[in-house]
Amino acid sequence: MSISVVILAAGKGSRMKSTTPKVLHEISGKSMLFHAIDAAQEVSSDITIVLYHQAKRIQEQVEAEYSNIHFHLQDAEKYPGTGGAMKGVTTQNERTLILNGDMPLITKDSLLALTAGDAEINMSVIKLDDPSGYGRVIIQDEKVQEIVEQKDCNEDQLQTKTVNAGIYAVNTALLEKYIPRLDNNNAQEEYYLTDIIKMAVDEGKTVHPVYVEEEEFKGVNSKFDLSAAEEIMQRRIKTFWMHSGVTMRLPETIYIDSRATFEGECMLENGVSIQGASHIIASHIKTHSIIEDSHIENSDVGPIGRIRPNTKLVDTHIGNFVEVKKSTLTGVKAGHLAYIGDATIDEGTNIGAGMITCNYDGKNKHQTKIGKNVFIGSDTQIIAPVTIDDNVIIAAGTTVNKNVEKGSLVISRIEMKTVKDFFYKFFDK
């Protein structure tokens, strides 16, 4: 059956105590809203996001990443609440799945379970030991009768431990009929989407409860919730990659972005952080190294290596305290203490300890090109833009500020002087 999705994301999210809209806070490198959109795209191609607070900022971010998403601006002054959010929303398909933008842990399988069956409405419910804060779901004979918000509950209703997880799959025609009928006669004077349940039941329609895992439906309302969701997401991501063949030493100390991918046999030691859409192929990333948005193939990095965005390492060895940025290294060895930025370095080249590409002149970034089989001594500065051809030796301590021809030795050093017995004279000993 074809289905449309509406993601509610107009709420203010004041408990986040942040100037960033709640749904733009990130879990594993991707905003909560993007996690929700990705799950929604697995089941539908008609997706509408309802916005109000900081609508422009959120819409711009979504449009930079996705096409074909519809937006609806809630009239939140006049019609506050989850029901108000649905006023004026139109969807294209027979069924409409309504999600919250602050539930980043939802999976495709749960969304599919919610759209199965032929009840007019499926709604997500969870049994909780502590139901406080949630709308209570009144169920009789396995059919939902109504949802009562905590603030509107009587003493009996407050004891109900089955609560509304906040996701519904509704027959679109019914939704279009009930939304205009919602009122705000309740404790919060808001338009409650949850009131459509009673309307459906009163008309003899079936509302089916779908029991769901609490973990997936946890709403993120505070920075504490954000950290809890991050932990769950990290556990899922690492479990997936370990099952795909990535070895992880002490996985609880490792961070992996939701967009990162691995291929072949990879090993991640403790404390490693793989950020952005990094792609790691058959490589070994050693203790406390950071890889950001880079391609690492058949290489080893670290311990304590830092590979910054847009780097490509192939058949390369990067050792401790080496930083590489926006560079392509093929068949290179850089074992210790170096900064390589905006460079292309070719096969068989060895980078000594303390080599630095001086890529920035205070105004612009410049390129360094180093050819094959170049031996670069320790403590050298390569002032870009510069090209060093194949088979070159750069002596330790050299400052390279002109292009170097194939086969040359380059040395720039002031001659060493020795003053005999100077120590004894100077200190009068």
CB-nearer residue toward ligand UD1: 100 or 160: 100
- CB-neighbour burial class of residue 186 (10 A; exposed 0-12, middle 13-18, buried 19+): middle
CB-nearer residue toward ligand UD1: 221 or 270: 221
- CB-neighbour burial class of residue 6 (10 A; exposed 0-12, middle 13-18, buried 19+): buried
Residue 104 makes contact with Mg ion by CB under 5 A? no
Residue 81 makes contact with Mg ion by CB under 5 A? no
User: In the set 3, 11, 97, 200, which binds ligand UD1 (CB under 6 A)?
Assistant: 11
Distance CA 211, CA 202 (A): 23
Q: Does residue 336 have an active-site annotation?
A: yes
Q: How far is CA 10 from CA 76, 99, 195, in A?
A: 8, 12, 19
CB-nearer residue toward ligand UD1: 54 or 330: 54
DSSP 179: G
Number of residues this chain uses to bind ligand UD1 (CB under 6 A): 27
Residue 311 makes contact with ligand UD1 by CB under 6 A? no
Which positions from 219 through 238 interact with Mg ion, judged by CB under 5 A?
Answer: 219
Residue 134 makes contact with ligand UD1 by CB under 6 A? yes
Cβ contact 344:360 at 8 Å: no
Q: How far is the CB of 304 from ligand UD1 (least distance, A)?
A: 41
Q: How far is the CB of 314 from ligand UD1 (least distance, A)?
A: 44
Instruction: Annotate 331-369 with three-state secondary structure.
Output: CCEEEEEEEEECEEECCCCEECCCCEEECECCCCECCEE
Residue 4 makes contact with ligand UD1 by CB under 6 A? no
Cβ contact 108:102 at 8 Å: no
CB-nearer residue toward Mg ion: 104 or 219: 219
Q: How far is CA 128 from CA 63, 137, 156, 213, in A?
A: 37, 12, 16, 10
Stretch that binds Mg ion, among 157-165, 175-183, 216-224, 374-382 (CB under 5 A): 216-224
Interface characters, 137-166, with ligand UD1 (x: CB under 6 A): ----------x-x-------------xxxx
User: What residues have CB less than 8 Å from 19, skipping those under 6 apart?
Assistant: none
Binding partner of 149, given ligand UD1, Mg ion, none, CB within 5-8 angstroms per partner class = ligand UD1
- Which residues contact ligand UD1 (rule: CB under 6 A)? 8-11, 50, 74, 76, 80-82, 84-85, 100-102, 134-135, 147, 149, 163-166, 192-194, 219
